[in-house]
Amino acid sequence: MAVGLTGLPELYPVAGISLGTAAAGIRYRGRDDLVLMEMAPGGTAAAVFTRNAFCAAPVSVAREHLELFSPRFLLINAGNANAGTGKQGLADARQSCKSLAEAGGCRPAEVLPFSTGVIGEPLPLARLQAGIPAVLADRAGDAAAWERAARAIMTTDTVPKGASRRFEQAGRTVTVTGIAKGSGMIHPDMATMLAYVATDAAVERDLLADCLKRAVERSFNRISVDGDTSTNDACVLLASGAAGLPAIDNEGDPALALFQEALDGVCLELAQAIIRDGEGATKFITVRVEDGATPEECAAVAFTIAHSPLVKTACFASDPNWGRILAAVGRAGLEALDIARVTIHLDDVSIVMNGGRHPDYREEMGAAVMKLPEFTIRVNLGRGNHTTEVWTTDLSYDYVKINAEYRS
């Protein structure tokens, strides 16, 4: 029941990147659940990881390995998070890297491990190891390999998620393609979000990290609370350089803006896809906060609205109970907010002005907007020139059902 999301868009292959999948039986039966992503030697990489103090074992190991080398392989399993697993979990994550390194011909620290699924269960390492020959043998660089990988990393997702962009640099085509998983969200910070983006551009390592940070700030962090994340969240960006172009290595490089735009586009589409596939979601809601004094206060108001269970249930019911939106604005903690200047719109329907209901507003106007599968809650704070958008879903019976029954 993903909102406005029927399946994968066309995914353009990325030179220098190949992917393999296999059914390792980590948890699921009859589907692929192990993914290998390989980058040809000479590329660079960047990643953003969860800030959760209880980060999963593979996150600790991936963070450590990424400091040492550009990765040769990413190894991703679905069905088990290897989180809350203590020392054994760390040992298992390291061993999985070692096993792949032996079979794949690289150093263990050139492997980044990732896991998603149930927390607190021991990783079935033997099964994972047994799947390694199969994912190596399955490696391919075509669109179909990307699509299989997008499916194999799913847990509670109902649809696979991917996005692609292309741009021209010095007469050649450069590609940015990504896949992601994640749907466990009222708050995205409470379910694992994994995203893997690759490009055949050549980008200097530190610059690549800056690009990823910017893209994440505008996408995955706009569907999150305070940048908080689950125990396993990770977003990885690989730049193979295989398009054969000179490396982008300074902020003044004109190719940088094109790359950033493509990367932003991919990350935003993936982030929104995660929301569209939000657990139990029946609506895709944009919360736009305009004319704030700072970007931070816009985000504070937007997230207060986006995370209000009362606003979310009203959205589910298509009930324009705008008092709940107004109450959320009021408790977002803004200093000296002049409520007389605040306006609230549902799409283009003006609901609140001068601290109360707009004189022309009638209930059916708001209800008509909220019956749409996609709409915008627009708040104007009237005290600055900053604007922030965040994306969220409604809160439905199915959210409760999915989260009460997951794992059982």
Q: Which stretch binds its own copies (CB under 8 A): 101-109, 131-139, 160-168, 329-337?
A: 329-337
Binding mask 12-51 for its own copies (x = CB under 8 A): ---------------------------------------x
Active site residue 192: yes
Rule CB under 8 A: is residue 364 a binding residue for its own copies?
A: no
Which residues does residue 390 pair with via DSSP β-bridges, in sequence order? 287
Q: 408 labelled as ligand-binding?
A: yes
Q: How many CA atoms lie within 13 A of 73 on its CB side?
A: 27
Query: How far apart, in whole angstroms, are the C-alpha atoms of residue 384 and residue 144?
Result: 48
Q: Smallest distance, Å, CB 390 to its own copies?
A: 17
Describe the crossing of helices 86-104 and 57-68 by its angle, rounded to 10 degrees: 50
Query: How far apart, in whole angstroms, are the C-alpha atoms of residue 332 and residue 317?
Result: 24
Interface pick for its own copies out of 31, 166, 331, 362 (rule CB under 8 A): 331
At residue 166, φ and ψ (nearest 5 deg) are -130, 150
Q: With respect to its own copies, which residue has the nearer C-beta, 82 or 96?
A: 82
The site for its own copies, by CB under 8 A, has a size of 66
Rule CB under 8 A: is residue 229 a binding residue for its own copies?
A: yes
Q: With respect to its own copies, which residue has the nearer C-beta, 259 or 316?
A: 316
Q: Smallest distance, Å, CB 292 to its own copies?
A: 14
Q: 10 labelled as ligand-binding?
A: no
The sign of the CA dihedral 106, 107, 111, 113 is: positive
Q: With respect to its own copies, which residue has the nearer C-beta, 29 or 87?
A: 87
Rule CB under 8 A: is residue 382 a binding residue for its own copies?
A: no
Instruction: Tell me 203's DSSP state.
Output: B
Q: With respect to its own copies, which residue has the nearer C-beta, 19 or 225?
A: 225
Query: How far apart, in whole angstroms, are the C-alpha atoms of residue 358 and residue 387?
Result: 22
Rule CB under 8 A: is residue 87 a binding residue for its own copies?
A: yes
Query: How far apart, in whole angstroms, are the C-alpha atoms of residue 75 and residue 138?
Result: 13
Q: With respect to its own copies, which residue has the nearer C-beta, 90 or 247?
A: 90
Rule CB under 8 A: is residue 53 a binding residue for its own copies?
A: yes
Interface pick for its own copies out of 64, 323, 362, 374 (rule CB under 8 A): 323
Query: How far apart, in whole angstroms, are the C-alpha atoms of residue 146 and residue 15?
Result: 12
Query: How far apart, in whole angstroms, are the C-alpha atoms of residue 328 and residue 310?
Result: 9
Instruction: Label residue 217 left, alpha or beta by phi (over 0 means left) and psi (-120 to 50 means alpha).
Output: alpha
Which one from 192, 229, 231, 304 is the annotated catalytic residue? 192
Query: How far apart, in whole angstroms, are the C-alpha atoms of residue 23 and residue 34?
Result: 6
Q: 155 labelled as ligand-binding?
A: yes
Q: 403 labelled as ligand-binding?
A: yes
Rule CB under 8 A: is residue 86 a binding residue for its own copies?
A: yes
Q: Which amino acid belongs to residue 293?
A: A
DSSP string for residues in 388-402: EEEEEE---HHHHHH
318 burial via Cβ count (<10 Å: 0-12, 13-18, 19+) = middle
Q: Which stretch binds its own copies (CB under 8 A): 70-78, 82-90, 207-215, 242-250?
A: 82-90
Binding-site residue numbers for substrate are: 155, 181, 192, 279, 403, 408
By CB under 8 A, name the binding residues for its own copies.
51-55, 81, 83-89, 118-120, 184, 186-187, 189-191, 226, 228-231, 308-310, 313-314, 316-317, 319, 321-324, 326-331, 333-334, 337, 339, 352, 354-357, 395-397, 399-401, 403-408
Catalytic machinery residues: 192
